[in-house]
Structure 1
Amino acid sequence: MNKIALLFPGQGSQYIGMGKDFFENYNVSKEVFLEADESLDMDLSGLIFEGDKEELQKTENTQPAILTTSISILKALEKEDIGYEYTIGLSLGEYSALVASDVFKFKDAIKIVRQRGLFMEEAVPSNKGAMAAVLGLKLEKIDILIETCKDKGQISVANYNCPGQIVMTGEKAAIDKAVLVSKELGAKKAVLLDVSGPFHSSMLEDAGENLQKELLKYKVNTPKKKVVSNVDAKIVKDKDEIVDKLKKQVSNSVLFQQSIELLIEEGVDTFIEVGPGKSLTSFVKRTAKSIKKDIQIFNIENIDSFRKTIDKLKEGHK
């Protein structure tokens, strides 16, 4: 019997048209999009399917759009009776993981992430912050990188994605310098990311405070699945931890690589990325390879990949 974890993507995986084939082919998926439109009192579905790319890129739109797409696919997957024991998301994706674990009702989560996006946008003036992906830099050199660049402003690690890939975050001048310095320290590549702010940095602590007040308005349920938290790479033991962890998540590093290592230690041998894009699939592959573990990994973002995944999983159960 496979031990399955579902993975949910974060900001950056969005694109116009995502989830449309699920909307058109599965009533349970269509209901999710319609519920999102109703809950937010806006035509989110229209924006996702055929809207303006720049409008979709706005954080307050991106976050509910990705959540809605991921949960619409999840609902189709659940109809196939695929038993999963663990859930995890990258940053924003953690909210999809929490919905999948019944911690939040979808109609509440969609409102929470809309506000989360607004709080994050408002926390730092435009062009003051930045983020950069750094590839191939040894972990022991990250402290040197930070130390060398902090004279230009706040700088820290936003994401530990997988072995050989981290994301830096902070003030623009410090991140610009980090792109140059990381190459001098041996990084294969360093590129600025097309994002609207310095996510997962201390510059967003005010956004975290505002988010905490927002979260307290909603019912938090005991997780029905084992959810791994971004902030400490541990399984959530108690529902009372959740609000505090989500508050911290906005301004703390995302420990995605460490979370995948934990899941593999827990005996998870099958990972399914549910939602737009396939970046988490590559992160999991690289993490498993680095610790010499054999796993199977699938991603579902359209009907074709959905059917292929279901066929493979059912084949494995025979």
Structure 2
Amino acid sequence: MSVLFTFPGQGAQKPGMLHALPEHPETARTLAEASTALGREVLSLDSDAALRSTVAVQLCLLVAGVAMARVLAAHDAQPQMVAGLSIGAWPAAVTAGVLPFGDAVRLVELRGRLMEDAYPSGLGMTAIGGLARQQLEPLLAQVHAPGREVYLANLNAARQLVIAGREAAMRAVAELAIAAGAQRAERLAVAVPSHCELLDAQARTLACAMDQVALARPRISFISSSQARALFDGRRIGIDLAANMARQVAWADTVRHAWERGARLAVEMPSGSVLTKLTGPEFADGVALSCEAERLDSLVAAVRRAG
């Protein structure tokens, strides 16, 4: 039996999320390392105003994920696998030992800036609940056109999908989806059109920066949510990290792959419990927990038992 740590993507951020991390030497170490790498105080990034920036959101999710994983490791509660949704793949890779935390901070800052500068307004992501992929794709095809780009971005569950693109196009698809029987069409707190070809150029720029970083073979299994399979070569993981902003997320398949590899406990790093809700159905005979909803001592005990 194995333990999977999951790391959430954009939309999971909350004001005060870094200040809410456990008081622990590993938390303090992580915050200090991040501040040094950034050249500014990382705790200034989790205010409501700061989190309007894609850069701040991505950095906060990176720092929170690494800090919590380090706190658990300090209590001998460690995973055998990691997987992250979108930006969550970066703290997953740090936790797996693929790249140093300081390098990850600098690359994630670049990642967020590339995305934000490319699309400062007018685009984003919308969650569609209650339709299958086969039902949603024809609706996207009805709307998609030059200047009205909209794409299927995340396959989070069989009937929990996310689209990305221009605001007017997403609204049009949302209206069609509701008319077709969707239960919800909710604009997400994501200001950029992630996981589609609109970010291909930015992904290539990030890949060039990634080439300058030393990458190691993962110490534990790193499961790519773009490919829904484990990757074992540091350089291949680096390519995956750089590209994932422009690639579809296959979260349900990713979690299923972890289950097939023996994971029976999934623990979601801060912030929130979105991945726990998505992972639960795939772990029907296992357990899915979120750090936000559990006491630290309970989490430590659960990970030790399962690991």
Whether these two folds match at TM > 0.5 is: yes
Query: Which residue pairs with 1:309 in the alignment?
Result: 299
1:167 is aligned to 2:162:
yes
Residue number among 140, 146, 150 corresponding to 2:134 in the alignment: 140
SS of residue matched to 2:231: coil
1:212-270 Cα offsets, whole Å, 9 max, x none, are 11111211111111111122111113222123222321111111111001111112111
Instruction: Return the TM-score normalized by structure 2.
Output: 0.94
Query: Which residue pairs with 1:208 in the alignment?
Result: 203
Residue number among 25, 28, 34 corresponding to 1:27 in the alignment: 25
Residue number among 186, 192, 205 corresponding to 2:181 in the alignment: 186
Deviation at residue 139 of structure 1 after TM alignment: 2.3
1:113 is aligned to 2:111:
no
Residue number among 253, 261, 280 corresponding to 1:285 in the alignment: 280
1:37-81 Cα offsets, whole Å, 9 max, x none, are 111011112333xx3x12123011111111111111111100121
Query: Which residue pairs with 1:239 in the alignment?
Result: 234
Residue number among 249, 258, 275 corresponding to 1:254 in the alignment: 249
Query: What amino acid sits opposite 1:105 in the alignment?
Result: P
Q: 1:314/1:225 Cα in 2 relative to 1: closer, same or farther (>3 Å)? A: closer
Task: Report if the CA contact (8 A) 2:155-2:248 is conserved.
Answer: yes
For the residues of structure 2 that align with 1:214 and 1:125, how far apart are their CA atoms?
A: 22
Higher mean C-alpha displacement, 143-152 vs 202-211: 143-152
Task: Report if the CA contact (8 A) 2:3-2:303 is conserved.
Answer: no
Deviation at residue 315 of structure 1 after TM alignment: 6.0
Unmatched 5+ stretches in structure 1: none
Q: 1:257/1:83 Cα in 2 relative to 1: closer, same or farther (>3 Å)? A: same
Deviation at residue 314 of structure 1 after TM alignment: 4.8
1:73-98 Cα offsets, whole Å, 9 max, x none, are 11110012124211000100000100
SS of residue matched to 1:92: helix
Deviation at residue 313 of structure 1 after TM alignment: 4.1
For the residues of structure 1 that align with 2:192 and 2:51, how far apart are their CA atoms?
A: 15
Query: What amino acid sits opposite 1:11 in the alignment?
Result: Q
Task: Report if the CA contact (8 A) 1:160-1:167 is conserved.
Answer: yes
Higher mean C-alpha displacement, 100-109 vs 214-223: 214-223
Deviation at residue 20 of structure 1 after TM alignment: 2.6
Task: Report if the CA contact (8 A) 2:18-2:60 is conserved.
Answer: no
1:44 is aligned to 2:42:
yes
SS of residue matched to 2:162: strand
1:95-143 Cα offsets, whole Å, 9 max, x none, are 010000000111110111011000011122421x231100010222122
Identity %: 24
Residue number among 80, 97, 115 corresponding to 2:75 in the alignment: 80
1:198 is aligned to 2:181:
no
Task: Report if the CA contact (8 A) 2:17-2:60 is conserved.
Answer: no
For the residues of structure 2 that align with 1:8 and 1:125, how far apart are their CA atoms?
A: 25
For the residues of structure 1 that align with 2:238 and 2:21, how far apart are their CA atoms?
A: 31
For the residues of structure 1 that align with 2:212 and 2:291, how far apart are their CA atoms?
A: 32
Higher mean C-alpha displacement, 115-124 vs 13-22: 13-22
Query: Which residue pairs with 1:130 in the alignment?
Result: 124
Unmatched 5+ stretches in structure 2: none
Deviation at residue 188 of structure 1 after TM alignment: 1.1
Query: What amino acid sits opposite 1:15 in the alignment?
Result: K
Task: Report if the CA contact (8 A) 2:265-2:306 is conserved.
Answer: no
For the residues of structure 2 that align with 1:258 and 1:313, how far apart are their CA atoms?
A: 23
1:298 is aligned to 2:298:
no
Q: How many residues align?
A: 306
Deviation at residue 21 of structure 1 after TM alignment: 4.7
For the residues of structure 2 that align with 1:190 and 1:214, how far apart are their CA atoms?
A: 36
Query: What amino acid sits opposite 1:139 in the alignment?
Result: R
For the residues of structure 2 that align with 1:114 and 1:69, how far apart are their CA atoms?
A: 15
For the residues of structure 2 that align with 1:144 and 1:185, how far apart are their CA atoms?
A: 11
Deviation at residue 316 of structure 1 after TM alignment: 6.2
Higher mean C-alpha displacement, 194-203 vs 99-108: 194-203
Query: Which residue pairs with 1:55 in the alignment?
Result: 50
For the residues of structure 1 that align with 2:79 and 2:120, how far apart are their CA atoms?
A: 41
